[in-house]
Amino acid sequence: MVKNVTFKEARDGTADCLQCSIRESVLFAGVEDSAFEKLHDPIDQYTLPVGATLYHAGDMGEKLYTIRSGIIKLVQYLPDGSQRIVRLIRTTDVTGLEILVGETYQHDAVVLQETEVCALPVRVVNNLSSENPGLHKELLNRWQRALTEADAWLTELSTGSAKQRIARLLLRLVKNREESQCSLFAREDMGAMLGITTETASRTIAEFKRQSLLVETAPNQFLLDIPNLTRLAED
Amino acid sequence: MVKNVTFKEARDGTADCLQCSIRESVLFAGVEDSAFEKLHDPIDQYTLPVGATLYHAGDMGEKLYTIRSGIIKLVQYLPDGSQRIVRLIRTTDVTGLEILVGETYQHDAVVLQETEVCALPVRVVNNLSSENPGLHKELLNRWQRALTEADAWLTELSTGSAKQRIARLLLRLVKNREESQCSLFAREDMGAMLGITTETASRTIAEFKRQSLLVETAPNQFLLDIPNLTRLAED
DNA sequence: CGCGACATTGAGTTTATTCAAATACGGTGG
DNA sequence: CCACCGTATTTGAATAAACTCAATGTCGCG
């Protein structure tokens, strides 16, 4: 069983949004420098270790988060206690948007790979967005992006045989990269993403390794045979 | 195979938003009467028969739709041609939101039960929303609602055994109703919603009937044994 | 070294799929 | 009104896939 550590306010400092290296692709991309200077509320930055929980389902929060680096899983639970991972949040993604419409967090957000986040108070986002058509547009974009992602998880990662699902997950992990290299998640997490058991995930990965569809170049660093995985994923 | 008719502009007339009987729960709930009167673009109303396609994935449209009555399925296709239904749209829901952020439609929208829709030109929505914090808020709400729904399809309808998934789907169909009565979809559609085959859907429904978890009171009208279905759904 | 957590493998069972056949159902045209 | 057709549903039998439960391997770390 994967154990979860709680996010204990391990604050790194105050973000300097004006200098942020990923600002171009981030929520605030369209916001003027001058607007930032009017902020009273500082935007805090944190570094979270593997296993930390950024927020809990049902909590009434007042922050959204942008991910500067790392990977976070969004988890929901079934009445019987089993978990299902509904999405992954990665660099430049925003999570916790539901707070903006007054909902509680809809998932547990748990760190899979060490993650740097910026915590944006709802108030700040609301203030900025009411005066910034750019930010506002960007917010809608993020919402739509999350929705597109959710749909893809249904069609790609929850449909077809275990082999197909694993292949599609692997391809997703390297998508938009020059390199076909990636690291994998714990088998239990892969199962929870794909709606299969831990054992089936393990067996399938092991089989892929034997067939050299996956080659381990270093501990948990794999090169993918993209053409053959693609073929597998599609039929 | 279910065949799809195309939506052939079967226009009923121009909607009278001021008098709309479902206005209280609809996208425009918070919009002032006076704002409506400034609209040049009329809002068209249509009635669509079963099998009609409201819009196609990949089309660059300029309308969103609010559903006044009926049921629509949102369908995505896999590379191998198989279909997956990612969401159902029902009374007071809005669909086609992606158009607002400049995307093409992300799904085929196909009518499952005769449906009345209002077609809202993007321009109208954008104009109204830039001046109406209420409408704007409502838009965010709809986006979040779609997202919550997408997550629920993953956790509830794509997880667990076929029996559990069917039970959860049935319960969903009568949720928020005083009556435990509902009508069912074609087995092929149920399969596409749950990620199972048509035959498995059929077998399961047939078995539920034999166990009186479902009682057919009229052609395609069923009463559900909610307590026992709930028990089934949960473990 | 040895412990704990995770990954892999095995064997047996259950569940779902596949392919095929049989049955029901609704509507059309004679 | 009934026969017939096409479509959808149900059922059957064999096969394949995934699950369960248990055992064994592996790796990193105290």
B158 — contact with chain A (CB < 8 Å)?
Answer: yes
- Residue-level pLDDT at B3: 64
The integer distance in angstroms from the CA atom of A50 to the C1' atom of D30 is 20
Closest among A119, A199, A132 to A166, alpha carbons compared? A199
- Residue-level pLDDT at A88: 98
- Residue-level pLDDT at A210: 96
Contacts of B86 in chain A (CB under 8 A): 151, 154-155
Closest among A235, A226, A220, A216 to A189, alpha carbons compared? A220
Mean predicted confidence (pLDDT) in A115-126: 92
A108 — contact with chain B (CB < 8 Å)?
Answer: no
| Tokens describing residue A50 | 């593997």
Contacts 24+ apart (CB under 8 A), A54-60: A54/A7, A54/A95, A54/A109, A54/A110, A54/A111, A54/A115, A54/A117, A55/A7, A55/A96, A55/A105, A55/A108, A55/A109, A56/A105, A56/A108, A57/A104, A57/A105, A57/A106, A57/A107, A57/A108, A58/A104, A58/A105, A59/A104, A59/A105, A60/A104
Reported pTM: 0.93
Which residue ranges does chain B devote to CATH 1.10.10.10?
162-234
Within the 192-231 window of chain B, which residues sit less than 8 Å (CB to CB) from chain A? 195
* pLDDT one-digit tens code per residue, A145-173: 999 999 999 999 999 999 999 999 999 99
Beta carbons of A82 and B159 less than 8 Å apart? yes
A79 — contact with chain B (CB < 8 Å)?
Answer: yes
- Residue-level pLDDT at B82: 86
- Residue-level pLDDT at B51: 93
Q: Which residues are paired to A53 by β-bridges?
A: A6, A110
- For A44, half-sphere exposure in the C-beta direction (CA atoms, 13 angstrom radius) is 13
Please say whether the beta carbons of A29 and A23 come within 8 A: yes
Confidence at A60, pLDDT banded by 50, 70, 90: very high
Q: What percentage of residues in chain A have a pLDDT greater than 90?
A: 69
Which residue ranges does chain B devote to CATH 2.60.120.10?
7-156
**Strand C: which bases are under 7 Å from protein Cβ?**
6-11, 15-20, 25-26
The conformation of residue B70, written as its DSSP 8-state character, comes to E
Please say whether the beta carbons of A108 and A63 come within 8 A: no
Q: Is B200's CB less than 7 Å from nucleic acid strand C?
A: yes
The integer distance in angstroms from the CA atom of B7 to the C1' atom of D5 is 27
Mean predicted confidence (pLDDT) in A75-83: 89
The integer distance in angstroms from the CA atom of B6 to the C1' atom of C23 is 32
CATH placement of domain A162-234? 1.10.10.10
- Residue A21 pLDDT more than 80? no
What parts of chain B have a pLDDT lower than 70? 1-6, 8-10, 24-25, 38-40, 176
CATH placement of domain B7-156? 2.60.120.10
Q: Is A216's CB less than 7 Å from nucleic acid strand C?
A: no
Q: Is A136's CB less than 7 Å from nucleic acid strand C?
A: no
Crossing angle of helices A133-157 and A187-194, in 10° steps, is: 100
Confidence at A188, pLDDT banded by 50, 70, 90: very high
- Residue-level pLDDT at A6: 67
Question: Which distant-in-sequence residues (6+ apart) come within 8 Å of B128 by Cβ?
Answer: B28, B31, B35, B135
Mean predicted confidence (pLDDT) in A207-218: 96
- Residue A2 pLDDT more than 60? no
The integer distance in angstroms from the CA atom of B199 to the C1' atom of C18 is 10
Residue of A nearest to B131 (CA): A130
- Residue A74 pLDDT more than 70? yes
Q: Is B81's CB less than 7 Å from nucleic acid strand C?
A: no
Confidence at A53, pLDDT banded by 50, 70, 90: very high
Q: What is the mean pLDDT of chain A?
A: 90
Q: Assign residue A43 a region: left if phi > 0, alpha if psi is -120 to 50, beta otherwise?
A: beta
| Tokens describing residue A125 | 């986002």
Mean predicted confidence (pLDDT) in A37-52: 83
